[in-house]
Amino acid sequence: MATLFLKERVLERIKMNTWLDISPNSDFSIHNLPYGVFSTPSQRPRVGVAIGDQIIDLAAVAMRGYFQNLSIEPEVLEQPSLNAFIRLGKPTWQAVRKRLTDWLTQSDSPLQHLRNECLIAQSEAKMHLPLEIGDYTDFYASEAHATNVGTMFRGKENALMPNWKHMPIAYHGRASSIVVSGTDIHRPKGQFMPKGADQPVFSATQALDFELEMAAVIGKDTKLGTSLRPEEAKDYILGFVLFNDWSARDIQRWEYVPLGPFLGKNFASSMSPWVVPLEALEPFRVDGPEQQPEPLPYLQTSERRNFDINLEVAIQPEGGSEAIVSQTNFNNMYWSVGQMLAHHTVNGCNMRVGDLLASGTISGNEPNSYGSLLELSWNDERPVEINSNQTRTYLEDGDTVTLRGHAQRDGIRVGFGEVRTKILPSL
């Protein structure tokens, strides 16, 4: 029955056509309509929706009275973050999404008449961090990634810690250093123990790495003391973004025991500017991997847990061409986002609008599907070929790292754009 419903939803969406000229390869199809915050030289940051290579200026639409019966004040959409709009609640998000979909598929609609006032070319806009992020939690939910890392440092027999298949493991990350795509980062400095040394040194990291992740955006507050079930995630998650949780492996390795990540992780994380609504991803739900042993009751769910989203990572050396170094899929996750949210709140921890739940590194089972250089180079043992005369075990200054992701099925494409970041020398 669930499969039949999914097919009906997909077929329904295939019938939608828009009067805008949109490339079939565009991440921002009529089926997507992601939210973001943009500005132009003449306009301060405001809320917009991506469609093709353009942005719908929601504030401009509201100022002309077209959201009046939805009880949306223009000021809510003239904010430098999505938080005020998110707080209006899921019924409002759905109503706006439906109205935009209707306008974009009707040959004679208000948006078509106002296209010169309300449609902005993405090439003319600057994208901003779309959220005020109060808290950020980074999970460790890919079995392939956890197994790879555990094998490297503890051996194949002890790759997964005894608790790993019983609960989604996570740590509390640093929200203040999350930046939007296009923001360059400087190579971080810190204390680490060089190989073969018996005393630590203070220096710029020699092992800068990317981590291919996705992050869920919390769209509804919970009360302190409240616990959620996995199935309730659909009511508490606005959507998803691409996420690059940078790591300085040498700094991280030295400080990791006994408490976990700190300076090796908190210097920067990069995210895509567009939040893809959960509703746009529903047609791409898939069954997750079989979970053995069976999770405890609070983590059990009968719904299709995962999403079929193609992901890739590319590295472009300074002055060189781009090389794709990893291709994987979000459906590889052992623990689902619903289970992450259930575990996060099982002790009564409260969620707030704008919080992020990151998946942790997403890796597949094949060597070219690993989501970090630590894995791709197998801890420095197998340099990764970038082009005919360059390899990498870790990132070098001048490298540009780009994460991309999209879901595609039966003529429907829903994408995330990209997270693009250049590595600058240490300050």
The residues carrying an active-site annotation are: 145
Diameter over CA atoms, the chain: 74
Strand, coil or helix: what is 219?
coil
The first and second tokens of residue 44, run together, are 């301060």
23 Cα distance to chain centroid: 23
Closest CA to 71 of 46, 50, 48, 96: 96
Distances (CA, A) of 278 to 93, 96, 188, 275, 287: 11, 14, 34, 9, 16
Q: What tokens does 303 get?
A: 């719904």
C-alpha–C-alpha distance, residues 233 and 315, integer Å: 34
With b for 16 or more beta-carbon neighbours within 10 A and e for fewer, the 59-93 pattern comes to bbbbbeebbeeeebebebbbbbbbbbbbebebebb
- The DSSP annotation for 67-112 comes to TGGGT--HHHHTSSSSHHHHTT-HHHHHHHHHHHHHHHH-SS-HHH
CB 415 within 8 A of CB 314: no
At 193, which amino acid appears?
M
Task: Please state, in angstroms and as integers, the Cα–Cα distance from residue 297 to each residue in 55, 141, 309, 409, 420, following that order.
Answer: 44, 18, 28, 33, 40
Name the strand (E) or helix (H) holding 337.
Answer: helix 337-345
